[in-house]
Amino acid sequence: MKDRLKDFVSEHRDEFDVFEPRPELWQQICQESQAPRKEAKVISIKFGERASFSADFLFMRVAATVVLLLGCGLTLLLMKQNTPGAGAMLAATEQKVITNIAPEIVEVEAYYVSQIEEMKGELSEYDKKVLGLGEQKEIDRELARLDSSYLVLKKQLYTTPNTEEIVEAMVQNLQIRIEVLNRQLEVLQSIKKMERTINAELKENETTNI
Amino acid sequence: METISYQDVNSHVIDKCREGDNRAQYELYKLYSKAMFNVSMRITNDYSEAEDVLQEAFISAFKNLHTYKAEASFGSWLKKIVVNAAINAIRKRRSELVPMDERTIGDIAEETYEDDSEWKVEKVRKAIMKLPDGYRVVLSLYLLEGFDHAEIGEVLGITESTSKSQYSRAKKKLLDIMKEPQFAA
């Protein structure tokens, strides 16, 4: 059957388009499409006709950053695990869970760890000078022991309901370490002082002898 | 010959758009915005909504330009985007575009007298805008946007035969509207 309406409309098709958008509309479109414009560049990899993989630059950049960060994180983690020092217990990945269980420990831990690192730095300066300290190894062993018990405590934090006690023990553990390091520092300082006075006396003796 | 050169100009502009060239995008907009705005207007029947649809459609088109393969003309590719955006817009207003009870194929008195001697574009156009949403969308997609009933069915989520019967009803209603005394003038 003949559709005369359709014929009529297609005959006058152009006359039906009577509306026009406001000229300002382009500005809006322009502004909104401006932001994701950088995405326009596309990297595409084709594997024959069937499978093709395409990703824009922004996506690739984000992906590359993620990979890079993951790599750095993993290297850091491995390095920390290899050194048996006091700082090894700071696995940043666990931080989030801990903030839920015991939020105060995160700050406390960060504070003490920075103190410990500082003191260790100071100590290492002394170590370079030979001061004839036989107990050095013993202290390292003690610190390692404290470190491992700290790790045990931290693990318990996830499973035990009584977090307060454990947090207290953890803080105590950190304080003991500081105490140990402090003592060592004091010993080293006094040894150095003694050495200095002995040297001074020796010099004085020499000068008086002449 | 003319169509080929036209296509060539287009594909050149489209390539530039893909690189994010702003002026090329404006060129495409100038070329298609009026036609696309009228498509959007006929479906939404609301000026500001039609503008929102046009904006959304162009932004989405620029963003997804890399998916456009030259197998269809750019205009019809863009029109599909506009039609879909416009239909989504009116779907937000009402849940069913084509009511369930109208989806069965009823016998429509096909023989309405079509006296085209009194038809004028302006009269037909205004009468189309008076149709209820469901009728207006099917009728304008079929008559003005060059969709066939299979395509209309796909776009609206109805069967081809429902689209056909819906079109018949819409046409009948349209002719009735044009016969109304206030439309005679």
- Could you tell me where in chain B the CATH 1.10.1740.10 domains are found? 2-93
Concatenated DSSP letters of A1-27: ---HHHHHHHHTGGGG------TTHHH
Summary mean pLDDT of chain A:
77
- Which residues 101-120 of B have a C-beta within 8 angstroms of A? 110, 114, 116, 119
**Residue A87 — pLDDT band, cuts 50, 70, 90?**
very low
The string of pLDDT tens digits covering residues A152-184 is: 888 888 777 778 888 888 889 999 988 888 888
- The verdict on a CB contact (< 8 Å) between A19 and B38 is yes
- Could you tell me where in chain B the CATH 1.10.10.10 domains are found? 106-184
- What is the distance in angstroms between the CA of the first residue and the CA of the last residue of chain B? 44
> What is the CATH T-level fold of the domain B106-184, as seen in this structure?
Arc Repressor Mutant, subunit A (1.10.10)
Query: What does the alpha-carbon distance between residue A188 and residue A124 come to, in Å, rounded to a whole number?
Result: 11
Query: What does the alpha-carbon distance between residue A141 and residue A24 come to, in Å, rounded to a whole number?
Result: 75
Q: Kindly report the backbone phi and psi dihedral angles of residue B119, in degrees, each rounded to the nearest multiple of 5, phi listed first.
A: -75, 135
With CA atoms as reference, report the closest residue to A182 among A150, A147, A145, A143. A143
A26 touches chain B (CB under 8 A): yes
The first and second tokens of residue B168, run together, are 């018949």
Q: Would you say the C-alpha torsion A154, A158, A162, A164 has a positive or negative sign?
A: positive
Our CA-based measurement puts residue B120 at a distance from the nearest CA of chain A, in whole angstroms, of 9
DSSP state of A55: E
- The verdict on a CB contact (< 8 Å) between A32 and B51 is no
- What is the per-residue pLDDT for A88? 43
Residues of chain B in contact with residue A26, where contact means CB-CB under 8 angstroms, are: 26, 29, 33
Query: What does the alpha-carbon distance between residue A128 and residue B140 come to, in Å, rounded to a whole number?
Result: 89
Q: Is the pLDDT of residue A149 over 90?
A: no
Return the residue in B15, B51, B52 with the most chain A beta carbons within 10 A, the one to mutate for interface testing.
B51
Query: What does the alpha-carbon distance between residue B133 and residue B86 come to, in Å, rounded to a whole number?
Result: 12
A37 touches chain B (CB under 8 A): yes
- The verdict on a CB contact (< 8 Å) between A20 and B34 is yes
- The verdict on a CB contact (< 8 Å) between A26 and B62 is no
CATH of domain B2-93: 1.10.1740.10
Q: Over its length of 185 residues, how does chain B's per-residue pLDDT go in tens digits?
A: 444 444 555 788 888 888 878 888 998 999 999 999 999 999 999 999 999 999 999 999 999 988 888 778 899 999 999 999 999 999 887 656 666 566 555 555 555 566 667 788 999 999 999 999 999 999 999 999 999 999 999 999 999 999 999 999 999 999 999 888 877 65
Note the helical H segments in chain B: 2-18, 22-44, 47-63, 74-93, 121-130, 133-143, 149-156, 160-179, 181-184
Query: What does the alpha-carbon distance between residue B45 and residue A186 come to, in Å, rounded to a whole number?
Result: 87
Residues of chain B in contact with residue A10, where contact means CB-CB under 8 angstroms, are: 143
Enumerate residues 6+ apart whose C-beta is below 8 A from A192. Answer: A126, A131
Task: Output A45 or A60, whichever has higher pLDDT.
Answer: A60
Q: Would you say the C-alpha torsion B166, B126, B122, B137 has a positive or negative sign?
A: negative
Identity of the highest mean pLDDT range in A51-55, A184-188, B94-98: A184-188
Query: What does the alpha-carbon distance between residue A205 and residue B56 come to, in Å, rounded to a whole number?
Result: 95
With CA atoms as reference, report the closest residue to A141 among A78, A88, A84. A84
Residue B157 zone, left/alpha/beta (φ > 0; ψ -120 to 50; rest): left
Residue B67 neighbours by CB distance under 10 Å = 9
B16 → chain A, closest CA residue = A40
- What is the per-residue pLDDT for B107? 52
- The verdict on a CB contact (< 8 Å) between B25 and A8 is no
Q: What is the mean pLDDT of residues A115-129?
A: 78
Summary mean pLDDT of chain B:
85
**Residue A60 — pLDDT band, cuts 50, 70, 90?**
confident
